[in-house]
């Protein structure tokens, strides 16, 4: 005999009532165990979508999701642990530079990452452009690489927050993905289950991000910081700009190449600025004093990247794959790039094959877009602004359609926008 009735719980939330801790934990456990029908769970998710959650409800919901599976045991790691999570953007290859960078500074980073869906790229898809790289590691392998190298980037195993896996799939097909409490609990349940002591959240804001407005991004950041703090994880968030692509590339192998360039001490200024700001924040939360800028300049971060890739089966002696088909998109006037739209570039890269519509779809390692010009750059009429990369030329027409209006040429350069908009902390 069940302790609760799911229909009563649905009505309770539908009518704007606060769910008790016992109701929440019963629902999470029963749904994960397959004892509640998808249509009933969908009704509760929709009620949460419209009615929201109090802080107590959200903390309880997230904790129940964490407890639905295992927590990684990082007790064998002798240095402070810290991680970063990004809400996703176009050209966001920060993780590839940041994890080895903080490892070079004395932090162990157990980074569980995902695959791309839609126009925002997935970290694992990028790394798998490296010959032999293994993203799927057992918990024992993950902890071994972390202890040996100081950083690991891999997929979350099925034992971590299994409730989230079931609920996320349901949200995806029931129009409830955009609920801020459900987004916050989904992200934080996996990140807390990985066992890290500190967590920095990179919450992207703008047309190329999931959160389009500053107010929604701030609300999501505040709720995630609140959850992390309640779980005993030192947590802060940076709100960062995603109106224009980060760096000059969007696409899997292209972004790996750009990340290696950054690890060599070069790379685009915006990628470097965001990465260093997040590294500083991670070091601060972890209580480690080090100079990440020096670690980029002296090659120690690059050495950590090479060691991590090798430990996960990757072979950096093999050249990264390159596209056989390329096409340029040119400027129709002389002036300055006043706007380069992240969403348009992201959709263009997706249509070239760099992204996927469904989780099971394959992605092209070579597809993507190189931004030869960025916002504020001078350009001549007929000069290439974007370079499209694909496995075959049949992809170009759809990508070019997505890129119509994606950039604007004006007589004067735009006013620069700050990359780091705001910091949220407990």
Catalytic residue among 113, 186, 189, 236: 186
Integer CA distances (angstroms), 13 to 97, 182, 343, 357, 422, in order: 43, 14, 35, 32, 33
Catalytic residue among 85, 126, 191, 389: 85
In whole angstroms, give the CA distance from residue 169 to residue 33: 15
Catalytic residue among 166, 171, 191, 218: 171
Contact 356, 363 (CB under 8 A): yes
**Residue 85's closest CA among 184, 196, 181, 203?**
203
Q: What are phi and psi of 189, to 5 degrees?
A: -60, -40
Catalytic residue among 63, 83, 92, 164: 164
Whether 71 is catalytic is no
For residue 393, the 8-state DSSP code is: G
Angle (nearest 5°) at CA 273 between 152 and 240? 85
In whole angstroms, give the CA distance from residue 121 to residue 91: 7
Q: How many residues does the chain have?
A: 426
Helix axis angle, 180-193 to 214-230, nearest 10°: 40
For residue 85, the 8-state DSSP code is: E
**Residue 254's closest CA among 322, 353, 352, 340?**
322
**Residue 173's closest CA among 334, 7, 45, 316?**
45
Whether 85 is catalytic is yes
Q: What is the widest separation between alpha-carbon atoms in the chain?
A: 74
Q: Give the distance, in angstroms, between the CA of residue 173 and the centroid of all CA atoms in the same chain.
A: 21
**Residue 319's closest CA among 262, 279, 365?**
365
**Residue 314's closest CA among 127, 52, 147?**
127
Integer CA distances (angstroms), 329 to 178, 186, 251, 292, 300, in order: 33, 38, 17, 37, 38
Whether 171 is catalytic is yes
**Residue 150's closest CA among 94, 74, 86, 85?**
74
Active site residues per annotation: 85, 164, 171, 186, 190
């Amino acid at each position: 005999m069940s302790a609760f009735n799911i229909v009563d719980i649905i009505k309770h939330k539908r009518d704007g009532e606060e769910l008790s801790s016992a109701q929440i934990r019963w629902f999470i456990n029963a749904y994960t165990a397959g004892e509640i029908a998808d249509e009933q769970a969908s009704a509760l998710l929709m009620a949460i979508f419209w009615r929201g959650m109090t802080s107590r409800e959200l903390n309880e919901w997230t904790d129940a999701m964490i407890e639905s599976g295992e927590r990684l045991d990082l007790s064998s790691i002798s240095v402070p642990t810290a991680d970063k999570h990004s809400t996703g953007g176009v050209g966001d290859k920060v993780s590839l530079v940041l994890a080895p960078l903080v490892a070079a500074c004395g932090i162990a980073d157990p980074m569980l990452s995902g695959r791309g869906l839609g126009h925002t790229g997935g970290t694992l898809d990028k790394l798998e452009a490296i010959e032999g790289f293994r993203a799927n590691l057992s918990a024992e392998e993950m902890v071994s690489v972390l202890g040996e190298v100081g950083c690991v980037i891999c997929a979350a195993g099925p034992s971590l927050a299994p409730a989230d896996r079931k609920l996320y799939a349901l949200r995806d097909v029931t129009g409830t993905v955009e609920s801020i409490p459900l987004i916050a609990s989904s992200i934080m349940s996996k990140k807390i289950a990985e066992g890290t002591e500190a967590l920095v959240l990179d919450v992207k804001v703008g047309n190329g991000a999931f959160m389009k407005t500053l107010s929604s991004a701030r609300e999501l950041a505040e709720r995630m910081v609140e959850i992390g703090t309640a779980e005993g994880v030192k947590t802060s968030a940076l709100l960062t700009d995603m109106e224009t692509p980060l760096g000059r590339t969007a696409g899997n192998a292209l972004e790996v190449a750009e990340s290696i360039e950054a690890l060599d001490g070069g790379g685009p200024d915006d990628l470097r600025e965001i990465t260093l700001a997040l590294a500083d924040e991670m070091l601060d939360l972890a209580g480690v004093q080090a100079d990440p800028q020096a670690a980029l300049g002296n090659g120690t971060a690059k050495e950590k990247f090479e060691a991590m890739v090798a430990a996960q089966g990757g072979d950096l002696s093999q050249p990264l794959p390159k596209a056989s088909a390329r096409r340029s998109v040119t400027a129709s006037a002389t002036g300055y790039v006043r706007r380069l739209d992240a969403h348009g570039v992201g959709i263009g890269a997706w249509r070239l094959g760099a992204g996927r519509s469904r989780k099971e779809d394959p992605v092209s390692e070579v597809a993507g877009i190189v931004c030869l010009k960025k916002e504020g750059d001078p350009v001549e009429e007929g000069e290439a602004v974007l370079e499209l990369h694909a496995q075959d030329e049949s992809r170009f027409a759809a990508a070019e359609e997505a890129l119509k209006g994606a950039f604007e040429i004006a007589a004067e350069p735009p006013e620069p926008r700050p990359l780091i908009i705001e910091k949220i902390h407990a």
